[in-house]
Amino acid sequence: MRTICLISLLLLSFCQPDETISAYAGTGSQWRLVSIDDQPFEASADLLFPEEGEVTGAGPCNTFTARQTAPYPWIEVRDIAAARRACPDLPAETIFFEALEAMALAEVSGDILILTDESGRQLIFERQ
């Protein structure tokens, strides 16, 4: 009987819905960064949320992966691991990665994703 209860609890844990941004932003969606703090982002940067707890994408120079486990509408992008290829847009990539790690709230509204930090800084993305 004890084994049946443990197996039932284990199976129920697999049925829990994804409460991270992945469920709200769409696991198949790619998001293109259009502005940081109301200033157009001239370089190219993208975000994807391929599955619960995962963030991937590309900065202006390098692809990256990161973890995100906070429940929506919060976001905590941590442990960004990026390739180390240099390019002329490396300063823009540094700005993007640092801003991304600072974000605390997320809002998905149609084809717009807005990430905001505690001081009011914003990253605005459009669904591609």
Residue 121, judged by CB atoms within 10 A of its CB (0-12, 13-18, 19+), counts as middle
Distance, in Å, from the CA atom of 115 to the CA atom of 102, rounded to the nearest integer, reads 9
Query: Taking the model in full, what pTM does it have?
Result: 0.83
Evaluate whether residue 94 is within a structural domain. Answer: yes
CATH code, domain with 44: 2.40.128.270
Evaluate whether residue 115 is within a structural domain. Answer: yes
Segments forming the whole domain that contains residue 121: 18-127
What pLDDT score does 15 carry? 47
For strands 46-48 and 39-40, give the pairing: unpaired
Q: What is the pLDDT along the chain (128 residues), one digit of tens a residue?
A: 555 544 544 444 444 566 888 888 888 899 999 999 999 999 999 999 999 889 999 999 999 999 998 999 999 999 999 988 989 999 999 999 999 999 999 999 999 999 999 999 999 999 99
Distance, in Å, from the CA atom of 16 to the CA atom of 30, rounded to the nearest integer, reads 25
Give the number of domains in the chain. 1
